[in-house]
Structure 1
Amino acid sequence: MSKVELKMPKMGESISEATILNWLKNVGDTVEEDETILEVATDKVDSEVPAPCSGVITEIRCQANEVVEIGRVIAIIDADAESAIPSQKSEETKTAEKPKSVPETSVRSESRTTSNFELQASGTNDGFLSPLVISIAKKENVTIEELQNIAGTGTEGRIRKSDLIQYVKNRKYPLPSRPQSQAQAQIPKSTYKAPPISFEEGKDRIVEMDRMRTMIADHMVYSKHTSPHVTSYIEVDVTNMVNWRNEAKIAFQEKHGEKLTFTPIFVEAVAKAIQEYPMINVSVDGKKIVVHKDINVGMATALPSGNLIVPVVRNADEKNLFGLAKNVNHLANSARNNALKPDEIGGSTFTISNVGTFGSLMGTPIINQPEVAILALGIIKKRPEVITTDKGDEIAIRSMMYLSLSFDHRVVDGFLGGSFLRKVGDELEAFDINREI
């Protein structure tokens, strides 16, 4: 019998683990090569995992909601089998005869995530909580006592995500006070008390954060706790850039078959500035500074759901304007259609966020960890400005824009941050109006 191991695939640079969302096939099911058999998720994107060969699934080693390391075997496929193996019932009988052990990765993930979530087996479930259930419970302030009383509909009475969501939806507010557990009592409490949330039945409603919004929230809080943020601002005159783009965009699309937006021009200016100030293109690893050779520019992009994702323009310094426009358009379209691949959203070394798209004058962006800086680009507005010409000072209508750079003050001081920001501004202001398309 030829057994083929299905391993958790690599999901992109810097990603070491993924969460199993859902198995589309069960033990005993026949699969075809390249047929999707499960869905997985990282902190960046959801993906489908195809079967490496045709055959019958003989073993599933990791269940839904488990956090699994990249490269770990998650299932076994019998490539020689022509018919389904004995029913799942017989498999469950074997399982009952031998005590089930929790995979080491699950134990590590659970202990890392749960903190004080220590459960004893109860009459309603077996005491095991997936990382996803724990995360939702923490966000909704569901206590251990509440979790123990939730009737789980999963295997062996385990609590599923849907069980917890249903419980939260039906629970009454404000919540009755509960006795503090011994484990919680041993933790010193902050003297600050969170302000109470007013909730009126029939008027207010509760909307659960989806998985991506939860991860975004955790990432933002982590960044603010990790990096001392400083934000610098400059105002730039982008009249030449705007006029050139407005005149060239039709010819550019006819020649190259690509739309010409402002984003590739911004990416180009950032890449040139990073080449002059490479210490802005770094990450912090404890007491060490990792200086990245590649210039990979992430571009914060809104998804149809309203969430945010950061696809990456890799090696931006090695592309001309056409190459940047093609790359940017592809990433933006893929983001809108939820079709981004794992390797298109990981490994950025610097991020830009075009807050002007939403009409914002400027912004104070939060650093996209593990980077040390992020640039926000405000709305381009026409207004009268005093300019110096050969005839002296004159008032003219100019296209103006604010740039704001948030940087990690642990490794980026005011001189470096300000100089880099000024260089980006100079690149945009000095745009060549005679540039060829």
Structure 2
Amino acid sequence: MATIEFKMPRLGESITEAAIITWFKGEGDVIEEDEMLLEVATDKVDSEVPSNVTGVIKELLYKPNDVVKIGETIAIIQSDGDNVKTEISTKKQKSKHIEEKTPKDTTEPNKKRRLEVSPKSVGNESFTLPNTNTFFSPLVISIAKEHHISYEELARIPATGKEGRLRKSDVFNYIEDGRPYRYAQPAVQQDPTAYRIPQLNFDKGDGKLIEMDRMRRMIADHMVYSKHTSPHVTAYVEADLTNMVHWRNKHKAAFQETYGEKLTFTPLFIEAVAKAIKDFPNINASVDGNTIIVKENINIGMATALPSGNLIVPVVKNADTKDLKSLAENVNDLVGKARENKLNGDDIKGSTFTISNVGTFGSVMGTPIINQPEVAILALGIIKKRPEVIETEKGDEIAIRSMMYLSLSFDHRVVDGYLGGSFLRRVADYLEQFDTNRKI
């Protein structure tokens, strides 16, 4: 009798682990070669895994919902040719006898399940669903992140999988049905003293109807998801950029002549932000459940307008390792691609912190919405000349200075006022303390 170690099979080149969804066989059961043994889930697909041997299952080493590395032994199967085949034959005869006595299910197996939701119920303030299985496979989580569906909303989706497990098809059906439980809340007994949002029917008025394009819908979903997920707090400082403005105006012509690149303020802002992130690395993070992920790379996203008016965030990768020339090249290249709608997937991936230059549109300051899953975003207002009181050797004097407001929105779940305020002040300090003797 041979003892076979059944290992988690390779499920794709980039996949290193998989979650066990369910075992189709139990310990002591007989299984045939190519008969399905278990179902597994990765961040790309759910798969049924067949046995590669005929035998008796002696031990299952992992339970459903366990995440297992590729190549790990997950079951022990004992194979003894003739005895096993006899057991299989006996079980098949018993199974056939039971099937003959059991009425066949006439339900169409491939018929698509639809959510039974009446139009009037969509948008109601409460709901009741029996979905209590809070385990979600990596594939389901991946789909949810792509469509900005929170864990709370996932728990509201009716599940058809074994033991109440949410399947990929359940999520896609739910999305196709318009996400009817998107803003629903669990039905609970109302506190008569509690404040309740009034159900108002607003007159939206008449006018030209413009259908949102796909990108605008994605932006809308992303913004609503961010405000729903992160408790936003916004802090403000102002900075005196007079020295930086004078240096840039003095050297921008020589910079373009030397390097063939325009010297805008954006690379100077990114340079200061990257320095401040190195001083306060916890601002360069994201949140995954109850875990804070502090990023090693400093990749600065720049909120940029497309010709259509939609926003996109191209990314300057490893901004802390680049000199001013490289930053200017990178920024100008990304902005040029955005204006010509030529940004590719790599250009907009991997940001760890985002800046939004609202001053480009003449705004004095802004209250930016966090670019999920980051924990903070910086808005830079217009650089405006105004009279300011400054200290000189002669005492206080009034002078014309180039001033700018900076505003930082941060996720108060993981960034407190000290970290947010200190980081924002440090960015302003780097801008104010610009070295006017710097060479290009």
For the aligned pair, the TM-score class normalised by the smaller chain equals 0.5 to 0.7
CA distance in 2: counterparts of 1:137 and 1:208, whole angstroms: 20
Q: Is the 8 A contact 1:363 1:376 kept in 2?
A: yes
Tell me if 1:416 matches 2:419: yes
Tell me if 1:312 matches 2:315: yes
> What does 1:135-214 align with in structure 2 at a 5 Å threshold?
135=178, 191-200=196-205, 203-214=206-217
- Offset at residue 411 of structure 1 (A): 1.3
Deviation track 1:67-101 (CA, whole Å, cap 9, x = no partner) reads x975899xxxxxxxxxxxxxxxxxxxxxxxx9868
- Describe the SS at the equivalent of 1:402: strand
CA distance in 1: counterparts of 2:46 and 2:257, whole angstroms: 48
> What does 1:281-430 align with in structure 2 at a 5 Å threshold?
281-430=284-433
Distance 1:185 1:258, change over 3 A: closer
Aligned to 1:176: none
Distance 1:335 1:258, change over 3 A: same
Alignment size in residue pairs: 297
> What does 1:55-66 align with in structure 2 at a 5 Å threshold?
none
Which of 1 and 2 has greater Rg?
2
Aligned to 2:265: 262
- Offset at residue 137 of structure 1 (A): 9.2
Aligned to 2:276: 273
CA distance in 2: counterparts of 1:70 and 1:263, whole angstroms: 37
What TM-score does the superposition give when structure 1 sets the normalisation length? 0.60
Aligned to 1:434: 437
- Describe the SS at the equivalent of 2:327: helix
Aligned to 2:238: 235
- Describe the SS at the equivalent of 2:246: helix
CA distance in 1: counterparts of 2:287 and 2:315, whole angstroms: 20
- Offset at residue 205 of structure 1 (A): 2.9
Q: Is the 8 A contact 1:264 1:321 kept in 2?
A: yes
Q: Which runs of 5+ in 2 are unaligned?
A: 1-11, 15-41, 48-107, 114-136, 160-170, 191-195
What TM-score does the superposition give when structure 2 sets the normalisation length? 0.59
Q: Is the 8 A contact 2:303 2:357 kept in 1?
A: yes
Distance 1:189 1:433, change over 3 A: farther
- Offset at residue 336 of structure 1 (A): 1.2
CA distance in 1: counterparts of 2:277 and 2:143, whole angstroms: 37
- Describe the SS at the equivalent of 1:323: helix
CA distance in 1: counterparts of 2:203 and 2:158, whole angstroms: 27
Task: Give the letter aligned to residue 393 of structure 2.
Answer: D
- Describe the SS at the equivalent of 2:363: coil
Tell me if 1:245 matches 2:245: no
Distance 1:283 1:390, change over 3 A: same
Aligned to 2:55: none
- Offset at residue 435 of structure 1 (A): 1.0
Q: Is the 8 A contact 1:9 1:71 kept in 2?
A: no
Task: Give the letter aligned to residue 198 of structure 1.
Answer: D
CA distance in 2: counterparts of 1:114 and 1:205, whole angstroms: 38
- Offset at residue 204 of structure 1 (A): 1.8
Q: Is the 8 A contact 1:223 1:368 kept in 2?
A: yes
Q: Is the 8 A contact 2:174 2:180 kept in 1?
A: no
Q: Is the 8 A contact 2:300 2:316 kept in 1?
A: yes
Distance 1:310 1:211, change over 3 A: same
CA distance in 1: counterparts of 2:185 and 2:405, whole angstroms: 50
Distance 1:367 1:242, change over 3 A: same
Task: Give the letter aligned to residue 320 of structure 1.
Answer: D
- Describe the SS at the equivalent of 1:241: helix
- Offset at residue 196 of structure 1 (A): 2.0
> What does 1:212-227 align with in structure 2 at a 5 Å threshold?
212-227=215-230
Distance 1:318 1:71, change over 3 A: farther
Deviation track 1:17-54 (CA, whole Å, cap 9, x = no partner) reads xxxxxxxxxxxxxxxxxxxxxxxxxxxxxxxxxxxxxx
* Higher relative contact order structure (alpha carbons within 8 Å, sequence separation ≥ 6): 1
- Offset at residue 194 of structure 1 (A): 4.2
- Offset at residue 344 of structure 1 (A): 1.1
CA distance in 2: counterparts of 1:349 and 1:287, whole angstroms: 18
- Offset at residue 102 of structure 1 (A): 7.2
- Offset at residue 305 of structure 1 (A): 1.0
**% identity of equivalent residues:** 61
Cα RMSD of the aligned pairs, angstroms, is 3.8
Aligned to 2:134: none
Distance 1:256 1:134, change over 3 A: farther
- Offset at residue 216 of structure 1 (A): 1.1
- Offset at residue 254 of structure 1 (A): 0.8
CA distance in 2: counterparts of 1:260 and 1:432, whole angstroms: 16
Distance 1:243 1:189, change over 3 A: farther
